[in-house]
Amino acid sequence: MPAQLIDGNALAKKVRLEIATRTAILTAKGVKPGLAVLLVGEDPASQVYVRNKVKACEDVGMHSILERHPADLSEDKLLQRIAELNLDASIHGILVQLPLPKHIDSHRVIEAIAPEKDVDGFHVANAGALMIGAPLFRPCTPYGCMKMLESIEYPIKGARAVIVGASNIVGKPMAMLLLQAGATVTICNSKTKDLPAHTKEADILVVATGKPKMITGNMVKPGAIVIDVGINRLPDGKLCGDVDFDEVKYVAGAITPVPGGVGPMTIAMLLRNTLRCYALNSTKES
């Protein structure tokens, strides 16, 4: 029997509805929650992501600005703009879309964002807080993955979780969240020897590698929960994940589709984090 489908669109819709209601209440009281999204350069995938992020804010009634900067913007100019947004009372959350062009040091840029406006949760202060189990903001993609696991009431405590991909955006924070939820966690990376030996042990398998369909049916434990973070465009124009969905759906117990899985949940969690930024910053304005 094919796996249960974890429907990210349906789950995200519920979250967005709840956020729209809370946003309407806050707006009626005075200041609208506001998000600034900064894009540097013309990476086609990033352009789609930032448009979706800003549109999602508008749809729930939040204030949002999308700033597109040319690929040759200097690091100093970007840092200066972030400093202005840190002081802008109408902006509660700041998101700089990654990756940045090579001449810009993304660590310096992330560190320039005020930690209480860091909706992504990427600032070292926020990454550190997550690591010690006291997160201010959970990075949006791993946060969305956790909500998807919660939605199927999967017993995470004691489960073996394997994450394929060790990025700061997904793999590492995902490991922290699963660890805090009581899983036994393995993070695999591009140097991992005998990857299938690890993935086949997973009760929960989270894949974020950017390699289309790299996880095949024979790499998955029967009944496992498979969360596919990847979104790749194939030469024929179709989208696919890092998991070979057509094979793995006959092995897994539950699986997220691509598109319509983790992507919409990432955006829903961005909205939730923006509200959290608002709650942290609005006391300063009143």
Binding region for ligand GUN (CB under 6 A): 95-98, 120, 140-141, 169
Tokens describing residue 125: 């202060």
Nearer residue to ligand GUN within complex by CB, 119 or 185: 119
Residue 80 annotated to the active site: no
Residue in the block written with tokens 């819709």? 13
The active-site residue out of 53, 117, 213, 249 is 53
C-alpha span between 269 and 150 (Å, rounded): 14
**Residue found by looking up tokens 């506001």 in the block:** 34
Q: How far apart are CA 194 and CA 16, in angstroms?
A: 40
Residue that has been written with the tokens 């691509």 in this structure: 258
CA gap 8, 4 in Å, rounded: 12
Largest alpha-carbon pair distance within the chain?
A: 57
Whichever of 46 and 192 has its CB closer to ligand GUN, that residue is: 46
Our CB check for ligand GUN shows the closer of 96 and 224 to be 96
Q: How far is the CB of 201 from ligand GUN (least distance, A)?
A: 27
| Residue in 32, 117, 118, 120 annotated catalytic | 120
Contact yes or no for 131/252 (Cβ under 8 A): no
14 is catalytic: no
Min CB(280)–ligand GUN separation in Å: 18
Catalytic: 120? yes
d(CA 263, CA 140): 10
- 160 closest CA partner among 103, 200, 122: 200
**What is the amino acid identity at position 279?**
A
End-to-end CA distance of the chain: 56
Q: How far apart are CA 203 and CA 196, in angstroms?
A: 13
Which of 119/248 has CB closer to ligand GUN?
119
> Shortest gap between Cβ of 140 and ligand GUN (angstroms)?
5
**Which residue is at the shortest CB distance from ligand GUN?**
98
- Residue 226's φ and ψ, nearest 5 degrees, are -115, 120
Q: Which is nearer to ligand GUN, 224 or 261 (CB)?
A: 261
Smallest distance, Å, CB 94 to ligand GUN?
10
As measured in angstroms, the least distance from the Cβ of 266 to ligand GUN is 6
Residues catalogued as catalytic: 53, 97, 120
